[in-house]
Amino acid sequence: MQGYSYYNMFNINVREVNKYMTLEGIMKNLGTCNKIMLNANSHPSINMISERTFYVQPNYHELNESKTNSKFIIFSAAGATGKSALAKYLASTKGGVYWDLSKIRLGENSFYGTLGNAIGFENIKNFFEDLNNGTALLVIDAFDEADIISGRTAIEFLLGDLNNITKESHYPTVVLLSRTETAAFIANFCKKITLVIHIMRLVFLLNIMQSNLLLIN
């Protein structure tokens, strides 16, 4: 199956399970997000998507058995198959913070600094608590561009920070988007820090476009 070779390259076993899910079903544990106002001096990569974004929903086909208490969701797909459209759709419909990694060079302290400037350092603790309680959503787009611009060490710092601030979370409140190869790298890093991975494939109408979804627990 398309995409398997990347995951197998990292010793990440996948097998198809005969079950389909909807996006609402996947995100069902996310509560109503508390309203967030971004500061005027927030980095251009951070946004609240106010306009509803049109998105053609695919089917979500499980590739392995479902895991409970997933903290992260990774959507992966081939290039030019609507990953950013999905990211903006989620951010707009759920009231989540949208972070475009193609517009920033990540560093060791980028996570706390960039979010702190955008949300307000006086509000960042409450935002992290909301992520853990299922009343906030962080959608991070363009990991492939981040791989080119910032490098994989910077991505690992970011993933480590995300893991640290969601340790008490029992809900998938962080969404990551990338192509399959980068998603396999992310999955391998999460495996090293003992995060369990739930993988799904996105099957679009008429099978014109396909991709993979990883739920990281």
Tens digits of residue pLDDT in 168-212: 888 889 999 988 889 889 888 988 887 766 666 666 654 444 444
Q: How far is CA 49 from CA 42, 90, 98, 205, in A?
A: 14, 9, 7, 26
User: The tokens of 215 are what?
Assistant: 């739920």
pTM value is 0.86
Least confident of 40-54, 71-85, 127-141: 71-85
> Would you state the pLDDT for residue 208?
40
Share of the chain above pLDDT 90, in %: 45
Q: How far apart are CA 188 and CA 184, in angstroms?
A: 6
> Would you state the pLDDT for residue 211?
45
Tens digits of residue pLDDT in 182-194: 988 988 898 888 7
Least confident of 9-13, 90-94, 159-163, 166-170: 9-13
Range of the domain at 108: 4-216
Tally of domains within the chain: 1
117, 109, 99, 191 alpha-carbon torsion, rounded to 10°:
-150
> Would you state the pLDDT for residue 56?
81
> Would you state the pLDDT for residue 74?
85
> Would you state the pLDDT for residue 175?
93
Mean pLDDT of 115-123: 96
Least confident of 71-85, 105-119, 187-201: 187-201
> Would you state the pLDDT for residue 114?
96
